[in-house]
Structure 1
Amino acid sequence: MTEGEGALHRLDGVLSTSGYFWTLCLVGEDQSEKFSRLTSELRAPFSATGDGKRISSGFSYWGVESTVAWLHACSDLFYPVMRASIESFPHRWSQLLPSVTGQGFHYVSLGTGTGHKDHTVLETLQRGRAGELCYVPVDVSPEMLRQGQREALRGLGLRASNVVPVQLDFAGARNARRLRRLVEELVGDEPVLYALAGNTLANFESDTGLLAMLVRELLRPQDRFLLEVATTGALDEPSALAAAQEYQASPRFGEFVTSAVMQYTDLHIDMDSVSFEPAVEDDRALMVKVVYRNRTGAPLRLTLPDRSRIDFPESDTIRLLITRKYAEQGLVKLLGDARAQEVDRYRSGSHAGYGEPRFGMDLMLLRSAAPAPAAAPPPPNPFT
């Protein structure tokens, strides 16, 4: 090994020339702590409405089985929500390009998904760059990182040392601060484009709290935030029912939402016990709550990841997923409460035929609306 050449320097050459798809991943948290949290959430008290036992958003994608089930769902012809989102993303992203072109953004993807959207963004961000683009995909699931990264980097020719996958649950403020410090060490003061695509925000119980935290903890004045959300033109019961039916119609989506509870408990899955329950969430969004309800007519006993056992009484539920479609007034309030300012936005329009609900998928470019910190006053001049 020559002077100044370390193992990481040589590893960059190996990753770039080996001809095999190696994945170098930074693990940002203790996985045993996540098992503890998952177990705790499954011990919640009885609820007939899906507000007790639950699988939080990050755990829905955690593990090989859930990752494979998600990738299958995204290609399901009967699951138009995500398939249409992936297929239409290049056009929607192209409408925002005037607001990002030529600014030299690096890219941090919060939740890589299938990788198709990251590929579209990376392909345009690297055009005409004088320097090298840094790509930081972040996901709670190492397997999702690997699968998404493979598609995201296809044919782009990014240097292996400029791709830094990070296994991290970005939904916690402490982890978000850690991520920001890492990104700042990688890119310095150069601007960063963060992205939360695929209507992921809608899967969190406190969506406003999550967005506010991410904007507060991640964004510097020069940074931007790309947010993709599903939208609705109406807040009424027929529209809520239609939103639920979009998900219920896909067998592959049903396999995905039950994959985590099947993987981490010994519950025998009966798809007839999965309910897609619609609601109008105040004046802001349509909500669909996906729950697994004990309909056996008798109490069950479930084994959890730590081998402890819990009661699962008749009519008790495990919430598998929540999702939303936002009304315009709901989005305005969401951004205001999160202290996020809209820089640019592509409104997909609310597609509908006669008598059909008006649903769409909007793409927004945001910045922090918080005032920049005041510059420190200069030190006093000792000679005056």
Structure 2
Amino acid sequence: MALREPAVQRLEGALTDPGFSWTLCMVGEDQSQKFSQLTGELRAPFSRTGDGKRISSGFSYWGVESTVAWVHACSDLFYPVMRESIESFTRRWQRIGTALEGRRYHYVSLGTGTGHKDHAVLERLRRGHPELRYIPVDVSPEMLRLGQREALRNLDIPAGSVVPVQLDFSSARNVLGLRRLVERLVGEEPVVYSLLGNTLANFEDDTALLALLIGQLLRPQDRFMLEVASTEQLDEAGARAAAREYRASPRFGEFVTSAVMQYTDLRIDMDSVSFGAVVEEDRSLLVKVVYRNRTGGQLRLTLPDRSSIEFPDEDTIRLLITRKYSPAGLEKMLADAGAVEVGRTRSGFNAAIGEPGFGMDLVLLQAGPPPAPNGSHRPPAPNPFG
């Protein structure tokens, strides 16, 4: 590996200044283009079903207000998906991490979240590996700073070994750029990538995204750790329970509306937030959260570029989609994405008698043979508001 330039060495020294809390961050894309994308999605046509105007995954966490709202939601007693996921993660990671023993891995975290899970991963990977590099990646600079702080808490990892990257990893161009950056930083040494917290389920074409990440990031020596929400019950009763789970958390409601409140002048009425869920073929319970104009009249919304749009009565803004995968659905998605399972562990949530068995699956993957052409194609998901 080439020697670092003296200027970079001086910068590393500045990062350790005890008198100020500096965070180094590599910005991988033009933020003005992200604003343009957000504005374009909010200009979409009228839809009663949440298929027009939308806040795409990534923008839900973009900005200080959304970051703070997400942290609060993750600690909400009424939001078990993330709270129990965080609390059980260390135990599940310790079990699945045995498959990594015998080699020294660097760590790339796709979507840092609160940083608690990255802390558990780093604590183990750091043992016997003083040269470990930690590369947290997120579309939100605010989330990067917050997550990095928690991830590195009480860990003796030099500032120069931490390279936060602001990047939207759902873009093929960005993924290729990330791979080149990682290879420059670690050479041929193996890497563990992670996509935790059911983040994959927030994307419309989850299989295509996973195929992109597996196919473009992983070399034979690398591994990929995926965490998704799971369900043992794939029927209408399970769908209703999944929607109810998200609806029950006031702080989750604050989180899903935070981006609209931050990037438009819409006055939020929580009674206008709707949670619906359907069975998505034989693969998952699909939950959709929308904001509906229930005022009985037309509104005008000001967008980030100071332009305005009409928001008619009964029009909607999709705030979020998420899923809980069935065992068969998860298996098919992994196969369609060209991923080979190395290990898996599951933690179920405490459920009342008669309630569906929800939980979190943690899967360790490696790249397999390239998937067949169109292997990840599937028909559009049914709409809970259709």
TM-score above 0.5 = yes
Q: Distance in 1 between matches of 2:183 and 2:347?
A: 33
Q: Are the aligned partners of 1:277 and 1:290 in contact in 2 as well (CA < 8 Å)?
A: yes
Q: CA deviation at 1:14?
A: 2.3
Against the structure 1 CA distance between its residues 239 and 5, is the aligned structure 2 distance closer, same or farther, given a 3 Å change threshold? closer
For residue 96 of structure 1, give the secondary structure of its aligned residue in structure 2.
helix
Give the secondary-structure state (helix, strand or coil) at the position aligned to 2:287. strand
Counterpart residue identity of residue 315, structure 2: D
Please give the residue correspondences for 1:83-102 in structure 2 after superposition, counting only pairs within 5 Å: 83-102=83-102
* C-alpha distance in structure 1 between counterparts of 2:234 and 2:86, whole Å: 25
| TM-score normalised by L of structure 1 | 0.94
Residue 48 of structure 1 is matched in structure 2 by 48
After TM superposition, the score normalised by the length of structure 2 is: 0.93
The alpha-carbon deviation at position 6 of structure 1 amounts to: 2.0
Aligned partner of 1:137: which letter?
A: P
Shift, 1:217, TM fit: 1.0
Q: Distance in 1 between matches of 2:16 and 2:232?
A: 48
AA aligned to 2:109 is S
| Residue 29 (1) aligns with residue 29 (2) | yes
Matches for 1:61-140 after TM superposition, within 5 Å: 61-129=61-129, 131-140=130-139
The separation in 2 between residues aligned to 1:93 and 1:19, in whole angstroms, is: 35
Q: State the match for 2:327 in structure 1.
A: 328
Aligned partners of 2:290 and 2:103: how far apart in 1?
44
**1:35-59, Cα deviation, whole Å (9 max, x unpaired):** 0000110011111010110000010
**Structure 1, unpaired ranges of 5+:** 372-384
Task: Note the C-alpha offset of 1:157.
Answer: 1.1
> What is residue 356 of structure 1 aligned with on the other side?
355
Shift of 1:111: 0.3
Counterpart amino acid of residue 360 in structure 2:
M
Distance in 2, matches of 1:127 and 1:19, equals 29
CA distance in 1, matches of 2:264, 2:239: 31
Secondary structure of the equivalent of 2:41? Answer: helix
Shift of residue 98, structure 1, vs aligned partner: 1.4
Identical pairs, percent: 72
Specify the alignment match of 1:58 in structure 2: 58
Q: State the partner residue of 1:6.
A: 6
CA deviation after TM superposition for structure 1 residue 370, in Å: 2.3
Q: Deviations over 1:313-342 (max 9, x none)?
A: 111100000000000110011001101110
3-state secondary structure, aligned to 1:226: strand
Instruction: Tell me the secondary structure at the aligned position of residue 365 of structure 1.
Output: strand
Compute the displacement of 1:17 (Å).
4.1
Give the C-alpha shift of residue 350 in structure 1.
Answer: 6.5
1:334-367 CA distances to partner (integer Å, 9 max, x unpaired)?
Answer: 0011011101000224653310111010000001
Distance 1:138 1:197 in 2: 12
Bigger mean CA offset, 30-39 vs 302-311: 302-311
- The 5 A counterparts of 1:102-181 are 102-129=102-129, 131-181=130-180
Query: 8 Å contact 1:221–1:368 — kept in the other structure?
Result: yes
Verify: 1:313 aligned to 2:312, yes or no: yes
On the 8 A contact 2:88/2:347 being kept in 1, the answer is no
The structure with more radius of gyration:
1
1:128 positional shift: 1.6
Query: RMSD of the alignment, in Å?
Result: 1.2
Residue 289 of structure 2 is matched in structure 1 by 290
Matched-pair contact (CA < 8 Å) for 1:233–1:350: no
**Is contact 1:101–1:125 with CA below 8 Å preserved after alignment?**
no
Q: How many residues align structurally?
A: 367
The CA distance in 2 between the partners of 1:155 and 1:101, in whole Å, is: 23
Deviates more, 1:150-159 or 1:345-354: 345-354
Write the mapping of 1:200-279 to structure 2, written as runs, cut at 5 A: 200-279=199-278
Runs of 4 or more above 3 Å deviation: 349-353
Q: Any unmatched runs of 5+ in structure 2?
A: 371-386
Superposed CA deviations along residues 45-97 of structure 1, whole A, max 9, x for unmatched, are 11101011000001000001100110111111111110000000000001112
Contact 1:288–1:324 (CA<8 Å) still a contact in 2? yes
